[in-house]
Amino acid sequence: MGWFTVNKIDDNTYVISENGHWENTNCYLLTGKDSAVLIDSGLGVANIKEEIKKLTDMPVKVITTHAHWDHIGCHKYFNDIYIHEDDSEWIINGLPLPPQAVIKNLTPENFTGSIPPEFDIKSYRVFRSKDIKILKDGDIIDIGRKLRIIHTPGHSPGHICIFDESNGYMFTGDLIYKGTLYAFYPSTDPVKYRESVIKISNTEGIKKVFPGHYDYNQEKDIIKETENAFNEINKKNRLKQGEGIFEFENIKIQI
């Protein structure tokens, strides 16, 4: 069995998951009329492009939900990369953290399955490139299905969600998922995070939520649950870094 787990969402949409690492990262392949979109490219411990070749021979655009290392690991295999302007600096000049912090997450104890035989931790590098295309809030990428870019800062300055308007699919990256939501890093902003969740909650037409980690097939109720959780923290005047971990039914929020 290979490193990636591929599940079909519909005839033109696939989730490609990395369940052998504790992060359980999800990437999504959306095929259109003449081209396809890959939402994020994963950890970079195995070549996701080889999986995509099994699913489509269309040219692939890569839309980056945010520039954290675990979402850009296979960007190096693609030529057509999109990212929001407020995270572009991290792609161009590197993440604001030492390389050792990334490598620490790729040591054997962090894998829950067999490590891909081709993975060499000594040669692992976080992706950097100046050859990128810039996204802004409200941009539309039309591949025969219209994908609307929604700027949702908080987890990172340039975090985005992608709304597939024709299907009602909301791809939420690291903004919303069942698990622990992180807003405690120096580059995060708990207040903006809450505002972004409210922004998604107010988006009409959502039928399904597809997050960047863990269970990939979420009902839209998880959006309202996340909004309510942030509102509860805000009412207590504790929506500021250093307040710790807040636990709710399906999520935790660390700020």
The percent of residues above 90 in pLDDT, for the chain, comes to 95
Q: State yes or no: pLDDT of 86 exceeds 80.
A: yes
pLDDT band at 1 (very low <50, low <70, confident <90, very high): low
The pLDDT assigned to 220 comes to: 94
For 19-45, write each residue's pLDDT tens digit: 999 999 999 999 999 999 999 999 999
> How many angstroms separate the CA atoms of 65 and 213, rounded?
12
pLDDT at 96 over 90: no
Look at strands 13-18 and 5-10 and give their pairing. antiparallel
Contacts 24+ apart (CB under 8 A), 244-252: 245/180, 249/225, 250/178, 250/222, 250/225, 251/177, 251/178, 251/179, 251/180, 251/181, 251/222, 251/225, 251/226, 252/179, 252/180, 252/181
Say whether pLDDT at 97 is over 90: no
Going from the C-alpha of 175 to that of each of 28, 157, 158, the distances in angstroms are: 16, 12, 12
In order of start, what are the domains of the chain with their CATH numbers?
5-180+193-220 (3.60.15.10)
User: Using one digit for the tens of pLDDT, what is the confidence trace for 207-233?
Assistant: 999 999 999 989 999 999 999 999 999
pTM of the model: 0.96
Give the pLDDT confidence of 133-160 residue by residue, as tens digits.
Answer: 999 999 999 999 999 999 999 999 999 9
Give residue 166's pLDDT band: very low, low, confident or very high (50, 70, 90).
very high
Q: Each residue of 114-140: pLDDT tens digit?
A: 999 999 999 999 999 999 999 999 999
pLDDT of residue 74: 98
